[in-house]
Amino acid sequence: MEMMNLNSEFFRQLSYIADDENYMKKALKSIKKLVAEKEKASTLANKEEIGDAEMTKSEILAGFDLACKDIKLRMEGRLEGRAAEDLLDEL
């Protein structure tokens, strides 16, 4: 069906129940549920397009583990740190 026909049919069907508050509440509840499903699908599609930017727990823990190892090596003197000025110059 074309969009115009769908809209016409939708509003025609709605007009049949417009005088009954209970049916209108049910219709509204169903439409809100459909909107929520559409928004969820849209959000999932956007995440797939952008790529999942959120880190997993294991990725966070791996990064933390690496940072702890770096700190330990620096404290033992086996790894030299970089000056903050050098880091800022890179930006």
Say what the pTM is: 0.46
If asked whether residues 64 and 45 sit together in one domain, one would say no
Domain that holds residue 61: 57-90
Residue 53, pLDDT score:
63
The predicted-structure confidence for 66-82, as pLDDT tens digits, reads as follows: 888 888 888 888 877 77
If asked whether residues 46 and 64 sit together in one domain, one would say no
If asked whether residues 65 and 85 sit together in one domain, one would say yes
If asked whether residues 41 and 61 sit together in one domain, one would say no
Residue 33, pLDDT score:
94
If asked whether residues 7 and 41 sit together in one domain, one would say yes
The predicted-structure confidence for 9-35, as pLDDT tens digits, reads as follows: 988 998 999 999 999 999 999 999 999
If asked whether residues 45 and 63 sit together in one domain, one would say no
More confident residue, 39 or 56: 39
Q: Which residue has the tokens 């956007």?
A: 46
If asked whether residues 35 and 65 sit together in one domain, one would say no
